[in-house]
Structure 1
Amino acid sequence: QQLQIVLVSLDPERDTTEKLSQYVPYFNADFIGATGNPYVLLKLAAELNVAFSKVPLENGDYTIDHGANMVLVNPYGHYHGFFKPPFEEQNMRMAWRSIMATFDQ
């Protein structure tokens, strides 16, 4: 199985699939952008231990406050943990290989 990076928007009101298709490739052309219904995103965030909140701004707008952790999920969609920044490629590769080794048996 190949590694797939998915950037999940926590702001479906503003981050449409069209906006994500323009924004996500700035990180990497192979990354996928995803969004969904607010209730589904809330459930996903809870299952993956991702904390976020909608913060009102003085001008009437809002921002989404969230951390920068990267969640590690196996090919079956099960949570395995997370990486904190700064992201160290060697540690990330080692963790991914360790997880994938259990699926290659």
Structure 2
Amino acid sequence: MSTTKRFPPLPKTISAPGGTVTVRRVKAIKLASGHEAWGTWEPHTRTVEIDLTAPMAHQWRTLYHELAHVALDDAGLHNGMNEELVEAVCDALATARFRERFG
């Protein structure tokens, strides 16, 4: 018996307080700064992009990280937090949601 965990495909859309979020799997995400990223959240288009070259477990954790950005933005909380704190909160929420769903 294989010990490799199977993960379901990522959803294509997610309902959030500020409206529907589109989830796209793309190859090689580049930020405006030129740095590469595993995922991004674009609030103006309400789109999350996830790097499809990452292992599925990492894609799911990245999705949960980006959805934490969505939640913070939709609630207006990102306005009162510096970028470092936002990223730490998103990482913590992503880890918790991933463990809750996948163990």
TM-score (norm 1): 0.28
Structure 2 length-normalised TM: 0.29
Identify the structure with the greater helix proportion: 2
The structure having more radius of gyration, on CA atoms, is: 1
